[in-house]
Chains A and B, each alone.
Chain A
Amino acid sequence: QKEVEQNSGPLSVPEGAIASLNCTYSDRGSQSFFWYRQYSGKSPELIMFIYSNGDKEDGRFTAQLNKASQYVSLLIRDSQPSDSATYLCAVKGGNKLTFGTGTQLKVEL
């Protein structure tokens, strides 16, 4: 079983819709959860992090964490073509940060 699992996509959504990106993880002791965005040919950039169960909102982005079910998700409201990128989920347990392979998001006009 992969430590951090994401659907590789591509996930296609129309402009203005809500994009929902999901991530599951295997280590129940994981403490911190991060979402990075990576444009093609560029390095990952941090979008959000979340520590506690529930929702955390930042502008058009909402991170959701459910430790009992071991999943973390990222919702992007009012999706824009500029949101088209690969979204990497990263999970930290102890001093180890583990990345998923990423989900490619395509926002279509």
Chain B
Amino acid sequence: ETGVTQTPRHLVMGMTNKKSLKCEQHLGHNAMYWYKQSAKKPLELMFVYSLEERVENNSVPSRFSPECPNSSHLFLHLHTLQPEDSALYLCASSQDPDRGRGNTIYFGEGSWLTVV
């Protein structure tokens, strides 16, 4: 139990489907993140939210749409994805996105996404 919970853990979707990934953190953190992890590639930061405000969007295609209704919840809405979007999507949280040297990031268990 990491304090960051993601659902669903596994998702298979067609290219025309619309689905959402959900993340909830119980650590009292102010910042939440979406990362993508593909085989043999470094973790790719997708989005950063600080106090429900999006502070970073790393050139992510519009078929990925994040939503942060409050500091404890984060969603990633998916639509018209491509097979190359199949990957492990990791949610994470930290106390503050850019203050202090610490900013330890804690990850959820991840959502395995397969696009067929």
* A and B pair up: yes
- Is the pair A32, B103 in contact by a Cβ cutoff of 8 Å? yes
Residue pairs across A and B with Cβ atoms less than 8 A apart, 11 shown, are: A8-B40, A43-B107, A43-B109, A45-B2, A45-B107, A46-B106, A51-B101, A95-B97, A97-B103, A98-B42, A99-B43
- Residues of A in contact, count (CB < 8 Å): 24
Would you call A4 and B42 a contact (CB within 8 A)?
yes
CB-CB < 8 A to A99: which residues of B? 42-43
User: Cβ of B110 < 8 Å from any Cβ of A?
Assistant: yes
Q: How many chain-B residues does the 8 Å CB contact rule pick out?
A: 20
Count A-B pairs with CB separation below 8 Å: 47
Tell me, in angstroms, the Cα distance from A99 to B46 when the chains sit together: 13
Asked if A49 CB lies within 8 Å of chain B CBs, one says: yes
CB distance B42 to A95 under 8 Å?
no
Q: Is the CB of B108 within 8 A of A97?
A: no
Chain B residues engaging chain A, CB cutoff 8 angstroms: 2, 40-43, 45, 88, 90, 97-98, 101-110
State whether B101 touches A32 (Cβ < 8 A): yes
